[in-house]
Structure 1
Amino acid sequence: MATALVVVAAAVYGRWVLAARRRGARWPWWRTVAFVAALGLFATLQSGIVGQDDRQLRWAFVLRLATLFFAVPAFAAAAGPLALLRTGGPTRLSGTADAVLRSRPARLLGNAIVAPLVALAVFGVLLTPLAGVLRQSFLSAEAVTVLVPVLGFLLLAPLSEVGVLHSSAFATAEFLLAFVELVLDAVPAVVMRVSSHVLDGAGRTALHVPWAPSPLQDQHLAGDLLWFIAEVADVPVLIALFVRWQRSDRREARAVDDLTDEQMAALTREHLRRRS
């Protein structure tokens, strides 16, 4: 399935890039590089020790889950697939994508208050016996491969939309809440690292290699990896929110500068009237 997803995604993205060029639009090369990085990282996670032994190794499962949730969507969002869809994709599909992004569930997921809670809920599952069931199930592995990157992209999609406008006050609140996310992301990882018993209830599974860790060591290593990946992944989000706050502040400053003295006086009187 993973190979088919990579091939289809590469073909569609390349077709849209060519269509955009035929329409006279210039598509930035670095966005294409970001998309290739997303596909390369996604393909790498499905092969090797991470993709083949994630049923036996907790740290491999957590590494795959965290990378699919944080890193792959981050590169995909930087690739600007929604902007490319509007430039080189079918008009009907572009309208459908815009409608989905404007829908209440999508706007709720992209909210700076809800997004940290979603991440906390996803990784909080690792602290329950359900994690062992999901890790050792073939169907859940396929579901993680598809659904987790989609969920991560829905959380990051609003940041990749440069045309989305917010007030500077809202952008400031988002920026501050992103720091709260730094703490929330670390909670499941810290619990996994300091616990003295196996949280998912699953014992050692067959892995015939001399370096296979014990179940508790496996869990501690998984906690270390999750802690590192979650904290590092928040850095580009903070940068993107800071850039958006700067744009909102400059836009509002220009709007105030364009007002005449009479308009500014009227605006001041209206503000004072509301305060009183």
Structure 2
Amino acid sequence: MMFLAASLPTSGPVVSALSTVSKFLGISASIAAVGSLLAAAFLLEDEKGKLSASALRLRTVATWSSGLWIIAATGNIIFTLANILASPLGAVFDFNTIKSFVTQITLGQYQFFQLTAATFVCLFVSRIHKVGGAIWFLAITTLGIIAPLFQSHSATSGSHALAIGSLCIHVMALSLWVGGIFALALLDPKERAIAVPRFSSLALWAVIAVVVSGSANAWARLNFASAWHSSYAIVIIVKGVLTIGLIVIGYMHRKNLASKKFSEINWNKFYQLIMVELSIMIFALALGTWLASNKPPSPGADPKFNAAITVAGLPMPQQPTLSRILFSWNPDALFIGFLILAVALYVRGVVILRRRGDRWHVGRTVAFAFGIAGIDFATSGGFGVYAHFAFSYHMISHMILGMIAPIGLVLGAPITLALRTLPQGRTEAERGVRGTLISALHSRLAGFWVNPVVALLIFDGSLFGLYFTSLFGGMMQSHTGHFLMNVHFVLAGFLFFHVIIGIDPNPKRVPFLARIVVLFAAMSIHAFFSVALMSSTALVDHGYFAQLHTPWVSDLLVDQHTGGALGWAMGEIPILIALIATFIQWVRDDKRETKRIDRSAERLAAMGQPDELAEYNAYLATLTQKD
């Protein structure tokens, strides 16, 4: 070990350079894996849900790419640790040191998660044979790519949620864009002709996300005048110019495809243009890697320690008033990005229906917009801001995300809209995006989740698992934990209300009486949880709010009791609304069933045949005669 320490470079320019190279190889390899899986899952034709021969060949590319990703991720852990310890590389090659880094340090944990994701993909991606498997591996690869970003230099930015969220969206969109181009370059002309039209639409969405998120991230890092004179800003500008060039090339692609028939397209020139585009993308990735390896410029001397910014990621807000709650805004870019995508897809679906003359009830659109607005207000709006600093406001945000907003989303019927507007297979044998969604809705996994007991356990049972363990305090400490907690609130609420009052297709039709029983159970469990919270003598946040020293919260325990009372009040009302809606749906369903029986009876009578009621009366008469 002493010889190794003497022969390897110490922490400094050489190790920093090696770290940058390792990051570049890692992001390039992971993007190649994303592109291969993207093409296999969505761009190439499937055969009744099974991967085609071309898609199966791309599994090999994903395997080798993830293998290179493993090497790069391992090197990234080693080089990062060497830089942190300011030690020679040889001193870092110690099992206990590495173990401590990847298990106790947040950055090490995220990097180890990335290494684990790369290893999992490398070992098992060759075993997938269906489109669903490719989609799952695509999701795992994407999560592995963005995991370390939550502890990147953006995490130290003053606009914490904006910087991290915009960077995650930027990298995800860039991975789909660059990865898709990489996959197109690997396909033969016939396969490319199949994949290009679908990728063209996806690339347009990805480009918009890259530009918007990149601009937001640059603003979050360089939001003072002197920053634009730094080398960091110059690299960002150069990267922006390259992105504009790529957009121009992409526009040429779309114009070429739109103006000619596929048989008239010169695919050799098209391939050459793809290679030029890919070369520019690689250079842009190298610049992005340099940016990721260097800290953005600072506005001046290091500021004094600020508990609010350090712990919560945003400055301490003033004492809440109605106007401050209504107009305060701290953009959580990751949530905003997903909300914008959801709205864009929903609006696109409605437009498609209108263009072909189909009707879509405006009430559904209004309900969906209400749900989206509620999520935005509870995460980026006033309640989202104050939720970081007082338990009572956190509980209000929780109730909006888990109880109120999901009702709007469910009544907006997004799954029904998707089924009516998603593209079908390009051939009779291809399942397509719509067919894949139908298959997922009818899968055993979906049947398990929509079981009312399971939905109830997730909806109400998770309250006790979150607030009466150390989980709540731990998740509030990090942006990742807080984001995942809010996502859980939304998904748990959506699942529960989908089962109870949803108008979207459900794998298992739940009887109305069972729905009412589940609602009363949910009401009782929620009341018990609220009472337990109101009567608790210990703080459930495990010191999170205490370290913030919020000046307008004089007693944390009283604030916690207030949060319990607010949760009780705000939680019971949506359940009562759902109960009323269930009764209304039950009555309407009975009326529809009665009309169906009457129409059947009239039709049978016109044909001179007895209806169901007449047959039943005759059966009773037969029983009477036997007696």
Taking structure 2 as the reference length, the TM-score comes to 0.39
In structure 1, C-alpha distance between the alignment counterparts of 2:435 and 2:579, rounded to whole Å: 29
1:188-267 pair list within 5 angstroms: 188-202=529-543, 204-209=546-551, 211-253=552-594, 258=601, 259-260=611-612, 263-265=615-617
- Note the 1:68-79 alignment, pairs <5 A: 68-79=401-412
Aligned-partner residue type, residue 578 of structure 2: V
What is the CA distance between 1:232 and its match in structure 2?
0.9
Distance 2:549 2:620 in 1: 72
Residues 63 and 93 of structure 1: is their aligned pair in 2 closer, same or farther, counting only changes over 3 Å?
A: farther
Of 171, 184, 193, 2:525 maps to 184
Identity fraction in percent:
26
Instruction: Letter of the 1:84 partner, please give it.
Output: L
Alpha-carbon distance, 1:60 to partner: 2.4
Distance 1:233 1:93, change over 3 A: farther
- The answer for the alignment partner of 1:121 in structure 2 is 461
For the residue of structure 2 that corresponds to 1:201, the secondary structure is coil
Unaligned runs of 5+ in 2: 1-333, 425-431, 602-610
Distance in 2, Cα, partners of 1:225 & 1:242: 26
Distance in 1 (CA, whole Å) between partners of 2:403 and 2:593 is 32
**Match for 1:235: what amino acid?**
L
The SS at the match of 1:26 is coil
> Which residue matches 2:448?
108
Amino acid at match of 1:30: G
Shift of 1:96: 3.0
Matching residue of 2:199: none
Find the counterpart in structure 1 of residue 416 from structure 2. 83
The Cα of 1:6 is off from its aligned counterpart by 2.0
Once the 2 structures are TM-superposed, how far is the Cα of residue 181 of structure 1 from its aligned partner? 1.6
CA distance in 2, matches of 1:217, 1:7: 37
**CA distance in 2: counterparts of 1:73 and 1:41, whole angstroms:** 9
Distance 1:17 1:190, change over 3 A: same
Give CA-to-partner distance per residue, 1:146-179, whole Å, 9 cap, x none.
3431232222224322666858xx3223223322
1:110-149 pair list within 5 angstroms: 110-124=450-464, 125-149=466-490
Asked if structure 2 preserves the Cα contact closer than 8 Å seen for 1:109 and 1:115, the reply is yes
Greater relative contact order, per chain length (Cα 8 Å cut-off, separation 6+): 1
Once residues 262 and 253 of structure 1 are traced to their aligned partners in structure 2, the CA distance between those partners, rounded to angstroms, is: 15
In the alignment, the residues of structure 1 paired with residue 435 and residue 524 of structure 2 have an alpha-carbon distance, to the nearest angstrom, of: 37
- 1:223: Cα distance to partner? 0.4
| TM-aligned CA distance change 1:12 to 1:197, over 3 Å | same
Aligned-residue Cα RMSD (Å) equals 2.8
> 1:98: which partner in 2?
438
Q: Does the 8 A contact of 1:34 with 1:78 survive in 2?
A: yes
Decide whether the 8 Å contact of 1:56 with 1:136 is kept in 2. Answer: no
The number of residues matched between the two structures is: 268
